Copies of this chain bind each other. A is one copy, B any other.
Amino acid sequence: MKEVTLKQIAENLGISITTVSKALKDYKDVSKATKAAVKAEAKRLNFTPNAFAVNLRTKESKTVGLIIPEVVHHFFSSVINGIIDKAEKNGYLVIILQSNESYELEKKQIDLLISKRVDGIMISMANTTVEVDHLNHIRDLNIPLVMFDKISKLVPCSKVVINDRAAAYSATKHLIDSGCRRIAHFRGALLPQNSIDRFLGYKKAIEDHGLVFDPELIYICENVDYDDGRSAAQKLIKDGHKIDGLFAITDMAAAGAINVFKEHNIAVPQEISVMGFSNWFLSQAITPALSTVDQPGYEMGKKSFKLLHKEMRAKREDREFLPVTKVLETKIIKRESTN
């Protein structure tokens, strides 16, 4: 059960290690005959080059790192999917790490990836991350870096995002266009940029269309999940606000709200129209099916790796690379929860 190495093959064939190596890589200074013999023997012994040795020499690991807040999340798992697909096609492996929305862990994970000498890193920031020194450190080490979804303007690197503000604007506009005049918003926590942006998009749409922005109609869903949606909706009803539209920051929160409305015999969309955000598969399964904003996770993953790949290639060939920011299109998916 010995490892099979170049040396092994060389001895079997009575030639040098050098020649074996070159034969396998189709160097032109090896005769056809030797090449054939080497390749045959390599196949026979089931030779696979020792990746460590190769990496040690070439300084390339053909491995990239990915850090996301959490894996169990429809959006992020779509992103992962896109990244893995694209990476694999280009001969790269993906190491996935979670930050669990923790700044400290995020730092640790980055160090881990660096110590593993990954060829590049893709990251979506944790909500609690405010400092970005650890990210700039990646750049300092000249390691290609791409940020997606949750990014920071303070890090000069390639980015792939959606325009949260514009998307939220469209979503709100869709509610207004369908006749809503008093629209509540369930927003996320105060810090995360996308939470802020979606709120701002909502606000701007309200103001642009001659409606009044009422801070009382803004409720915070800390974890943007189903239960948060329920609580917010209950509070909204208890507060006695009469609304005819709701824009929730996620589909889960929207689903929670809809269920509370049902419990109070409030018809959706007849009395209240509801918009979600993300287009998780959940949104088509609930009743009424949820109108929402499609957030292209798979595309984002693909695009992120593409940019990273470009940068890694540039680095290898010692070319200059200028970071680019790619804004992906979102689109309104109209289902039954809006008119």
Contacts and interface: CB of A to CB of B under 8 A. Distances in A.
Interface of A: 1, 48-53, 55-56, 61, 63, 70-74, 77-78, 80-81, 84-85, 88, 93-98, 111-112, 114-117, 141-142, 226, 252, 255-256, 259, 262, 281-282, 284-287
Contacts of A287: 259, 262, 286-287
A95 B88 CA distance: 12
A112 B95 contact: no
A65 B33 CA distance: 38
Given A255-B285, A259-B287, 6 more contacts: A63-B116, A71-B81, A80-B96, A84-B97, A93-B95, A94-B96
A72 B78 contact: yes
Nearest to A141: B1
A93 B94 CA distance: 10
Contacts of A1: 141-142
Report which residue of A72, A73, A94, A114 has the largest number of chain B beta carbons within 10 angstroms of its beta carbon.
A72
A81 B77 contact: no
B52 A61 contact: yes
A200 to B, nearest CB: 28
**Copies of this polypeptide in the complex:** 2
Contacts of A262: 287
Contacts of A81: 70-72, 98
A47 to B, nearest CB: 10
Contacts of A141: 1
15 contacts: A48-B114, A51-B116, A71-B84, A72-B74, A72-B77, A72-B80, A84-B98, A94-B95, A95-B95, A226-B284, A252-B281, A256-B285, A285-B286, A286-B286, A287-B287
A48 B226 CA distance: 43
Contact of A285 (B50, B52, B142, B259): B259
B285 A117 contact: no
Contacts of A286: 285-287
A337 B293 CA distance: 29
A53 B117 CA distance: 11
A98 B256 CA distance: 32
A84 to B, nearest CB: 6
Nearest to A255: B285
Nearest to A72: B77
A150 to B, nearest CB: 18
A111 B93 CA distance: 12
A252 B285 contact: yes
Nearest to A287: B287
A117 B259 contact: no
Given A72-B74, A97-B88, A115 B226 contact: no
B97 A96 contact: no
A114 B3 CA distance: 12
Contacts of A259: 285, 287
